[in-house]
Structure 1
């Protein structure tokens, strides 16, 4: 899998782009900013009312609104050109067998079964539509999955509003709003417009909500900080590719944020896993045999692992109980199923960016034999 990087650093629009063919070149091409060091570890987060700056009256700030719009324009959703309505398909005709169809498309019965979640190759119906798997020759050309570009956006917005500290004394300068987001994009022969569009949409929505909330706060209360007096309004999101194969793409968003009424930053992990054949996200229930008690087994293993983690408490008995929604934040990896949890559902703030890894072998009796995990076990490289 090839990784490249495209970066946007916006002070008032300075753009840098780079792309390398090797790990060393990639490291050398990274844009150096101050954002990476903004986020010290924290153990607890407390929310307090906004500070009231003496003499401040609520007002509209059109110049700040314009700067917010400029930042958002760098991540604006472009029309997604989908060259196909979906993956290529074939219709079963009288006399067809799966072996005949596979041979026609220079594929194999196993590949057709995997692409169509089939457990019995003999159960074909005339008129049935089958997804045509990618050709083996293409897989040999790209053995490590698709080409992934990491795109960076950095906005440093000068509000033009005098900044005040927690003691409500002026800090001697104007307040700043900072945004740093890094997200993946699949390109090359295996580009997936639907997946790229969904991830870009998630990024845009997160930035928009953050900037709107911050702008509303400043218009109402001015720029005052309870913590990090030199910068107390920022958002950082780093998407990490957990798995990238020809069939599945799993990413984790490590999110940190600081608002004026917080005395420390808030951490959270969000996840998405996609079927690259369809471009659609998949849910954790699609990994398991629906006729098994997989959620009970997963809950038992998760609680056992959480018991050995720092910062967890009795909340894990509810947050990791056998409810499908508790395990919606998951990633597929080559080494196992990675589960993350919503903030404060299994313990204090120290658990908000914590994940547990469950080896696939621990749930062998529960996987769907035609699902993604079974596919990974058949293609471990």
Structure 2
């Protein structure tokens, strides 16, 4: 029914335009246009050419560039510590058993198996390297995982240039560039420099890329907005901790951005899940039994859930199809696996910041028995 209405509306526009006079009205050609729906609450992502302020000559703006450098420096740029030692390890020698090794390090066979993703304690090989699990006695003071604090950065940059509206008339006042980002940092005895460094690095790149694009745009075309406001250039990114245990750290960011050539802001969810024993990001295949048909099962469950969501459409059969790249945006939580999707891959603009939660029990037959999900199940029981 919606398709019929849209078709009629399009034909009506064509009919009206064909009946008009021959006088030509200058029009802007859209670069890309996506209309997810016709409702007021829709977040449009229509992209138009940058407005050109009459009389503006491209120029360099060193003072404005310096302000953006000062903004970026507020994040507390620190070198990522690449010299951080990884987890302690032990090499299996002739005559060793897992029980003997566990006793040597005052831990248990089960903890060794969990730390090394082992399913059979008897399958040891001479020369094999094993990760030594952290002692439980050191963890008792931190039953809920590492200490996490929230850091933030806020910049309100005055461009010093008159702001122009969509009619290319001054709207009063100078144009603003705004940045607000909040992110988590692991502190205390369980601080993870690699995790903290990666998160900080991602944020630095994001802010730097945004500010560089804005400066290029302003230097080329001046400060012009698609709305009658003096702040049509901003970035907001809030990171949320989805899971924080002694073994894993899972976060996601709700990123929103407004650029001069957008009629309203764009939204996107991005995620990171870390193995705290190594400090490295995880990929979704590490959660599942590699010998199972987990990817097909995950795709089927995801599509079934997406079908019940607003704004999804036939794109979900491709965007949530059985390709591992479709599920790179995931989070671990105590209640289930949370999936997010790249913009416009499973539907219209309303799906950009939408997530679905799959209870772990729905994929019980496919999880790696010694992996993170099994670990969460054991710890919660």
TM-score (norm 1): 0.88
Where does 1:239-318 land on structure 2 (aligned, <5 Å)? 239-318=239-318
The 8 Å contact of residues 77 and 197 in structure 1, kept in 2 or not, is answered as: no
Q: Distance in 2 between matches of 1:64 and 1:258?
A: 19
Where does 1:4-19 land on structure 2 (aligned, <5 Å)? none
Match of 2:236 in 1: 236
Shift of 1:139: 2.0
The reply to whether residue 174 of structure 1 matches residue 174 of structure 2 is yes
Q: Distance in 2 between matches of 1:236 and 1:41?
A: 20
Shift of 1:197: 0.3
Match of 2:220 in 1: 220
Match of 1:14 in 2: none
Match of 1:28 in 2: none
Pick closer, same or farther for the CA change 1:184–1:314 going to 2, 3 Å: same
Q: Distance in 2 between matches of 1:82 and 1:307?
A: 44
Q: Distance in 2 between matches of 1:254 and 1:327?
A: 17
Q: CA deviation digits over 1:168-188, x for unaligned, max 9?
A: 110111100000000010010
SS at match of 2:305: helix
Shift of 1:80: 3.4
Pick closer, same or farther for the CA change 1:215–1:84 going to 2, 3 Å: closer
Paired positions, count: 342
The 8 Å contact of residues 174 and 230 in structure 2, kept in 1 or not, is answered as: no
Match of 2:149 in 1: 149
Pick closer, same or farther for the CA change 1:126–1:223 going to 2, 3 Å: same
SS at match of 2:212: helix
SS at match of 1:119: coil
Q: Distance in 2 between matches of 1:77 and 1:374?
A: 37
CA RMSD of aligned residues (A): 1.3
The 8 Å contact of residues 312 and 351 in structure 1, kept in 2 or not, is answered as: yes
TM-score (norm 2): 0.88
Q: Distance in 1 between matches of 2:113 and 2:42?
A: 48
Match of 1:161 in 2: 161
SS at match of 1:141: coil
Shift of 1:83: 6.3
Shift of 1:81: 3.8
SS at match of 1:77: coil
The 8 Å contact of residues 107 and 135 in structure 2, kept in 1 or not, is answered as: yes
Shift of 1:41: 6.4
The 8 Å contact of residues 272 and 329 in structure 2, kept in 1 or not, is answered as: yes
SS at match of 1:379: helix
Q: Distance in 2 between matches of 1:200 and 1:332?
A: 21
The 8 Å contact of residues 146 and 245 in structure 2, kept in 1 or not, is answered as: yes
Q: Distance in 1 between matches of 2:41 and 2:89?
A: 50
The 8 Å contact of residues 250 and 272 in structure 2, kept in 1 or not, is answered as: yes
Q: Distance in 2 between matches of 1:83 and 1:143?
A: 28
SS at match of 2:215: helix
Larger radius of gyration between Structure 1 and Structure 2: 2
Shift of 1:104: 1.4
Q: Distance in 2 between matches of 1:42 and 1:192?
A: 40
Unaligned residue ranges in structure 2 (runs of 5+): 1-39
The 8 Å contact of residues 84 and 194 in structure 2, kept in 1 or not, is answered as: no
Match of 1:349 in 2: 349
Q: Distance in 2 between matches of 1:122 and 1:115?
A: 15
Point out 4+ residue stretches in structure 1 off by more than 6 angstroms: none
Match of 2:132 in 1: 132
SS at match of 2:203: helix
The reply to whether residue 85 of structure 1 matches residue 93 of structure 2 is no
